[in-house]
Amino acid sequence: MPPERTAVRRARLRIALITAAVITLLVTAVGWVCDTVMTRAQNAQVWRELRFGAAVGDLTRPPVCTWLFADGVPQLANAPAGFPLAGDVGQVRRTGRAVERTLHRDGTVYLVRTQPRAGGLVVQAVFDMRYQLADRTHLWSALGAAEVVGLLASVGAGALLGRVSVTPLAEALARQRRFVTDASHELRTPITQAYTRVQVLSRQAAAQKLPDGHREGLDRLTGSLGRLGEVLDDLLLSASLMAGPARQSDHRPLDLAALARSVAAEESETLDGRVTLLVDVPPQPVPVNGVESALRRAVGELLSNAARHTPPGGRIEMTLGRADGTVTLTVCDTGRGFSPAEAERLFERFHRGGDDGRYGLGLALLREVVTRHGGTVTASSRPGHGARFTIRLPACGPPLTPGPPHQATAGRT
Ligand SMILES: Nc1ncnc2c1ncn2[C@@H]1O[C@H](COP(=O)(O)OP(=O)(O)OP(=O)(O)O)[C@@H](O)[C@H]1O
Ligand SMILES: [Mg+2]
């Protein structure tokens, strides 16, 4: 699936989740406020009625859900069991002061007030809150229904907002990616032709002993056109990587050992004897699943970076091995290295670490390539002690056959 469609799906999901969370929070907050206000109002009213009933109410005909207990007054047939509370009656007799309490019993809540009445009588008024509790349950059921409707609405809102606001953005991104691919592709051919022509001119200039200034100018032009070509390759690679899993169909089993040897051979030609390149790659195939052009570019990027950062007389070592289903390719050099804190930032786009005239794209693309191949790449170094880059990729096929004794191919340039 192209990344734009993935982004739209993610955005829809995110909008739906955020809306659902907001609705849930709102419903919970509204429910809590309603429940608190309702409970307080109900309790205040019941206590008022109990005080009135206990003080002056008709002991033989109490209001609904209320029972009035007092010595010498016959109990009603529907009076709840366990009342009157003898402890409270005794306490009121002793102290002469009213006592109030809330009791949770028999699946309901009772509010109980015991107080003295004129004539030395102690009255206990009991109120059964079951209808008030039922009202609160209804309130929460209604809020639950509102929550379900709200959650359905959030799914709808996610889909609608995703379509209205995110889809045009995704289309713009897709158009931008297509533009980058088309423009890079169209520019690639004329730049390659210009590069070839300027190389020929440069050689002719050397042969015809043109003035130094002309030759240097042509050399610089060759270098600039070469780099421009590399940038276009990077842009094309980046755009094709962004096309996502559709391109995964391009993955094929390939021999990383052969690939590494061939890239090293190409790179050693450009080293021009300045630096020693040691290649330690097993003679037997090291199969991985991947896109050959992309992996070739990734390995080449490590070698060309190492070559650029290693001073004359230095050494670059490339090793390849396979263990526990993982293929590991390492490139170390004896260059200036970088600080450990910088290691992770090297893989950010346009991070150039002070290298003028470069674009800072190589390692970022390398990481994209390796990640798309299900692998990892790490960098480590100490300033002044060289750099080490390690690519790990999942191996494919059977483990290496023990074959002939392992031999390092040391290419010295
Ligand atoms: N072997 C190395 N030794 C020391 N520093 C390195 C090494 N490889 C990369 N770096 C640092 O990492 C930075 C980023 O590297 P990257 O390959 O992404 O960009 P670049 O080589 O500067 O430009 P580009 O690859 O786009 O032409 C480099 O500018 C450099 O500072
Ligand atoms: Mg680079």
Residues of the chain whose pLDDT is less than 50?
245-246, 403-413
Position 375 scores a pLDDT of 94
- Nearest ligand, measured from the Cα of 355: 1
Q: What are the Cα distances from residue 410, in Å, to 156, 261, 268, 347, 387?
A: 64, 10, 11, 29, 19
Rounded to the nearest angstrom, the distance between the alpha carbon of 308 and the centre of ligand 2 is: 9
Position 317 scores a pLDDT of 96
What residues pack around ion ligand 2 (CB closer than 5 A)? Answer: 305, 362
Position 250 scores a pLDDT of 67
Q: For 251-394, CATH number?
A: 3.30.565.10
Position 411 scores a pLDDT of 40
Protein residue with least CA distance to atom 3, ligand 1: 337
Rounded to the nearest angstrom, the distance between the alpha carbon of 352 and the centre of ligand 1 is: 6
Closest CA to 110 of 124, 129, 94: 129
350 — phi, psi (to 5°)? Answer: 65, 15
- Residue ranges of domains in the chain: 3-135, 251-394
Position 1 scores a pLDDT of 56
> What is the bridge-based pairing of β-strands 276-280 and 315-323?
parallel
Position 356 scores a pLDDT of 62
Which contiguous run of DSSP H or E holds residue 116?
Answer: strand 108-117
Tokens of 307: 């070559």
- Nearest ligand, measured from the Cα of 349: 1
Rounded to the nearest angstrom, the distance between the alpha carbon of 395 and the centre of ligand 1 is: 27
